[in-house]
Amino acid sequence: MAFLSDTLPKLPVTEALPELGAALSSGTRAILSAPPGAGKTTLVPLFLLDAAWRGDGRIILLEPRRLAARAAAGRMASLLEEKVGETVGYRMRLDVRVSQKTRIEVVTEGVFARMILDDPELSGISAVLFDEFHERSLDADIGLALALDVQAALRDDLRIVVMSATLDVERVAALLDHPPSIVSAGRSFPVEIRHQDRPAGERIEDTMARAITEAHRAESGSILAFLPGQAEITRTAERLAGRFGPETTVVPLYGNLGQKEQDAAIRPAPAGTRKIVLATSIAETSITIDGVRIVIDSGLQRLPVFEAATGITRLETVRVSRASADQRAGRAGRTEPGVAIRLWHAGQTAALPAFTPPQILSSDLSGFLLDLAHWGVTDPSALLLVDQPPAAALEEARNLLRLLGALDAAGALTPSGKRIRDLALPPRLAAMILHAAEDGEQLAAARLAVLLTEQGLGGTAVDIEERLRRFSSERGEWAEAARRLAQRMAEGFGTAKAGGSRAPGALLLHAFPDRIALQRGGRGRFVMANGRGGELPETERLAGADMIVVADLTGQAGRQRILAAAEIDRATVEAELADKIVREDQCVFDRASRQVRARRVVRLGAMILEETPLPRPSGPKAAQALADGVRQLGLQVLPFSREAAQLRDRIGFLHRSIGEPWPDTGEAALLARLDDWFVPFQENTRGLDDVTAASLHEGLMALVPYEMQRDIARLAPTHFEAPTGQRHPIRYDGEEPVLAIRVQELFGLKQHPAVAGGRLPLLLELTSPAHRPIQTTRDLPGFWAGSWRDVRADMRGRYPKHPWPEDPAAAMPTTRAKPRGT
């Protein structure tokens, strides 16, 4: 074929194509680094059509987004003077345009992951091209790992190419066993970088609207402005309304827009007009908006962050990476010299992270883990992944999949898990359809699942019932495709019940049993079965509901905002989840009264549906509840006597100085072992005020092995008996034991006092007759022979009535002053 020389445009990547062709002729892997505007997305797949190794196999080109996939397929088809669906087609969740003639398939990354999982041999596929791999989506990571696994075990003829505009080449090259790495020239036209620092405290949409207005006045050409999300785009558009004449159009571009609106946003402005495109990161890669020569970058992006501790994914607005900033600036130089205006100080660029964090480090991994189980892998480390997933997120995913019945105890796929995976939905929603199908309600559940996975479908109301009503009556290609997808999903479960009678809440509780929520603390405030709280604005209809099922929420622990929910009633919950509802008698600690209370409860997880007070309890359960109170409030609430506190210090000293089996008596250690030393001695206690010092002393002693209890007095005595016969307490509350004593009581003592069988010297705090410090020492004989002379000279003048002998080691100890007349 003569595509390259006779038909295709000359773009920067053209010069790199022969080297790429040679690499794939002699090997099966390659890396292509090509900056924005190089043309790799369009030219590489067409160039490889002519490769001898391809035979009649298809080339799969992976794109991170639907918009990019449609645009790439459209550009390639136009270069071949064909329609999309002939030589070049595309495949995505709600839209497929391929035919028997198709040899280049542009697919979204999620679709490819399904393709390879369903057909591990990748039958009829000669090459897989991972475009824009630097974005490091979870689907791209797992797709590459599985493709490498297939290549190593089943298809040694499969070609794999990783392509990116800004790529951490060294790490990817190591993963691919260092294949040829080809570098293409950059964009065709220069881009001037300018900076406009955003004033402190000013909203980004105000800064952006001002920057757009100034750039529109000072420069020619269309403008592409990057904002973090849909809300900021809407507010910026409102601020720009009426500022420009009819020759300038302001259009949004974000993921929730329908296909027609997205396609309109990237279509070139008609001759003699200008376009201002307000876009999210969706416009960062793979698409070209002809006529754009001005880029204005807010420097912000919105990323999903999964918190394993809460089990929710929240959207977080963060600074872009340097790689993303370069990508965005490159949009201005695609077709002519351009300008990139960055809304931050030039010095801040160096502080930006080098790359956007990969999704595998901050995503819900339940779908990922389910796919691996289908592949026969229970441990992700068995696959070639650029980054291994976090252990906490993996454990959270395993727990969820076990709760849904998708994985067994060993982590293998169950029969239900296989059907859940086959649905190509988040596991929670797939499990909901599976359960609904038992009663013929699969179509209603499938429609609900599609609604929740297609952002913006049916609107953005919190109330899912309202969204469903709008979805049912929506017209347009997107809504029709979504309804067809739901129909196909439902058909896999046989004949559905006509008209599905089950309410959305009754369906959702099988997807989110841990997020069934009860109103607590006022209108709009809810507590969920997982123990977490969630809030709704008081103006929302659902804010007044007694019980809801939460399908989506965001925010950090303690301040979680409910984004999507449906109303449910207790009768339905009890009927549908009878096996998960627990009826039990509980002993609980009441912080306000510092007492143990008893109650009979009906609960779902941590959510109390009903409770009845019972008489005040005693016994083991009451003692356990009291221990819970101590854990909440700390050991300081316990009435340790002086003797009990000293026993704790003595045992702790022996632990620090000798070690096991002497127990640790620090606060953390004692709180961790309340069941050993506190609970057994409180079975007749009903509140903290009833705890006795004697029971604490007895409990502490119980921590010491019985055969060693007699050694406490020998190794860590409570007192030191001075040569005078007086007993003085030893303190063990510091790092070493301390004895405070008047120096005259130690006269005649030639050996330094010690504990722990003579192994550890006491720290002596020597005092004057008035009990004021004179000196500290760990070597009494050395003190007598050394600095005593200076101490004696000073003290004789201050305390002339007390003895200050020249040789204290040979003097008689005393507690008295000198006799009169001496």
Q: Considering the entire predicted model, what is its pTM? A: 0.70
Beta carbons of 289 and 269 less than 8 angstroms apart: no
Pairing of the two strands 561-567 and 547-554: antiparallel
Q: What pLDDT score does 500 carry? A: 58
Q: What is the mean pLDDT of residues 62-82?
A: 89
Q: What pLDDT score does 588 carry? A: 87
- Residue 820 resides in a domain: no
Q: What is the mean pLDDT of residues 760-775?
A: 90
- Residue 797 resides in a domain: yes
Out of 183, 207, 230, a domain closes at 183
Q: Provide the pLDDT confidence category of residue 678 given band limits of 50, 70 and 90.
A: very high
Indicate whether 60 pLDDT > 80: yes
Q: What gap in Å lies between CA 756 and CA 736, rounded to an integer?
A: 11
Q: Provide the pLDDT confidence category of residue 455 given band limits of 50, 70 and 90.
A: confident
Radius of gyration of the chain (CA): 37
In this structure, the answer to whether residues 709 and 746 fall within a common structural domain is no
Indicate whether 681 pLDDT > 90: yes
Q: What pLDDT score does 56 carry? A: 92
Q: Provide the pLDDT confidence category of residue 5 given band limits of 50, 70 and 90.
A: very low
Q: What is the mean pLDDT of residues 259-265?
A: 77
Indicate whether 416 pLDDT > 60: yes
In this structure, the answer to whether residues 45 and 102 fall within a common structural domain is yes
Out of 183, 201, 225, a domain closes at 183
Out of 333, 360, 387, a domain closes at 360
User: Which residues, 6+ apart, have CB-to-CB distance to 410 below 8 Å?
Assistant: 378
In this structure, the answer to whether residues 368 and 384 fall within a common structural domain is yes
In this structure, the answer to whether residues 122 and 93 fall within a common structural domain is yes
Q: Provide the pLDDT confidence category of residue 362 given band limits of 50, 70 and 90.
A: confident
Alpha-carbon distances, residue 777 vs 52, 137, 815 (angstroms): 89, 65, 20
In this structure, the answer to whether residues 9 and 157 fall within a common structural domain is yes
Indicate whether 696 pLDDT > 90: yes
Q: What pLDDT score does 668 carry? A: 92
Q: What pLDDT score does 1 carry? A: 42
Q: Provide the pLDDT confidence category of residue 820 given band limits of 50, 70 and 90.
A: low
Residue 485 maps to which CATH number? Answer: 1.20.120.1080
* % of residues, the chain, pLDDT over 90: 44
Which candidate, 721, 763, 733, places its Cα nearest to that of 651?
733
How many structural domains are present in the chain? Answer: 5
For 129-147, write each residue's pLDDT tens digit.
999 888 888 999 999 999 9
In this structure, the answer to whether residues 502 and 590 fall within a common structural domain is no
- Residue 257 resides in a domain: yes
User: Phi and psi of 35, rounded to 5°?
Assistant: -60, 170
- Residue 218 resides in a domain: yes
- DSSP secondary structure letters along 40-98: HHHHHHHHHTT-GGGTT-EEEEEESSHHHHHHHHHHHHHHTT--TTSSEEEEETTEEE-
Continuous H helices in 365-515: 366-375, 391-403, 415-422, 427-437, 442-453, 464-473, 477-491, 504-508
Domain containing residue 69: 3-183
In this structure, the answer to whether residues 256 and 149 fall within a common structural domain is no
In this structure, the answer to whether residues 127 and 219 fall within a common structural domain is no
In this structure, the answer to whether residues 43 and 159 fall within a common structural domain is yes
For 726-763, write each residue's pLDDT tens digit.
999 999 988 889 999 999 999 989 999 999 888 889 99
Q: What pLDDT score does 473 carry? A: 86
Q: What pLDDT score does 2 carry? A: 43
For 243-259, write each residue's pLDDT tens digit.
988 899 999 988 777 77
The secondary structure of 485-541, three-state, reads: HHHHHHHCCCCCCCCCCCCHHHHHCCCCHHHEEEECCCCCEEEECCCCEEECCCCCH
Q: What gap in Å lies between CA 419 and CA 724, rounded to an integer?
A: 87
Q: What is the mean pLDDT of residues 115-125?
A: 92
Higher pLDDT, 262 or 496: 262
Q: What is the mean pLDDT of residues 394-405?
A: 89
For 287-327, write each residue's pLDDT tens digit.
677 788 999 999 998 887 776 666 667 677 889 988 888 88
| pLDDT-wise least confident of 205-214, 251-260, 576-585, 775-784 | 251-260
